[in-house]
Each structure stands twice: as C-alpha cells, then as structure tokens.
Amino acid sequence: EAGVAQSPRYKIIEKRQSVAFWCNPISGHATLYWYQQILGQGPKLLIQFQNNGVVDDSQLPKDRFSAERLKGVDSTLKIQPAKLEDSAVYLCASSLGYLNANTGELFFGEGSRLTVL
C-alpha cells in the first residue's frame, strides 16, 4: 500500500515570497491533516479536512496560509507571503475517517521542509 506522498521535500525561499506544498493521502482515507513541525517541537495542527470539507482550521494563520482539498483527495497548502517564522517541516497525514472503521491512526508523509531566508 502506497503511503502519504508529499512534495516538494525541500524548499528555500526569501521572506515575502510564496510557496505551495502538495499532498496525496492514502487511497480511501477520508480525513487529511496538515501539521506544522518547528525544529525541536511537536507537530501542530494547521487544518483538518473530512473529505473536502474543513473540520478544524482554528490554528491556521488565515492572513497568509490557505489550504484546499479539491474532490476530497489531494490537498495543497499555500503560504503567501512567507515569514521567517514559517521555517518548519510541513507534515501531511491521513486517516480512514469512517465511522466504525477508524482506528485513530494517523499516517504521516515524510514532510516538506521549508526554509525562509
């Protein structure tokens, strides 16, 4: 079974530039998450989708971050304009998300490492 795919793996940009990350979850997983992991910290939830609807985006800095999940499959996370403090690894995860079939396990991709100079 293919895992969660993310791209690009690494990105270096200047502050105030824009960047986009792509995620392809495990086939059949209804729930998709974007987490931000700053060096030395635990993952922090940015946004969570159930199919193509947003479940939680309370910690997404909406003035600069946006995310979408068209057709309930792939997702993109965009940052515009980027700030120095956005330097982090952006992790995408997916889970089954169906009633009576959800073990609770999140499957993470390897992440996209962003460096903002």
Partner 1 sequence: QQQVKQSPQSLIVQKGGISIINCAYENTAFDYFPWYQQFPGKGPALLIAIRPDVSEKKEGRFTISFNKSAKQFSLHIMDSQPGDSATYFCASGSMFSGGYNKLIFGAGTRLAVHP
| Least CB distance to partner 1 at residue 41 (A) | 6
Contact call for residues 89 and 111 (beta carbons, < 8 A): yes
Contact call for residues 82 and 69 (beta carbons, < 8 A): no
Residue 38 structure tokens: 């700053």
Q: Which residue among 19, 30, 46, 88 contacts partner 1 (CB under 8 A)?
A: 30
Q: Would you count residue 42 as binding partner 1 (CB under 8 A)?
A: yes
| Least CB distance to partner 1 at residue 104 (A) | 5
**Integer CA distances (angstroms), 49 to 58, 69, 82, 95, 98, in order:** 12, 7, 23, 10, 13
Q: Which stretch binds partner 1 (CB under 8 A): 14-22, 29-37, 62-70, 80-88?
A: 29-37
| Least CB distance to partner 1 at residue 31 (A) | 5
x/- letters, 44..73, toward partner 1 (CB under 8 A): xx--x-x----xx-xx--------------
Query: Which DSSP string do the residues of 47-78 spell out, in sequence order?
Result: EEEETTEEEE-TTS-TTTEEEE-GGGS-EEEE
Residues that bind partner 1 (CB under 8 A): 4, 30-31, 35, 40-45, 48, 50, 55-56, 58-59, 91, 93, 95-102, 104-106, 108-111
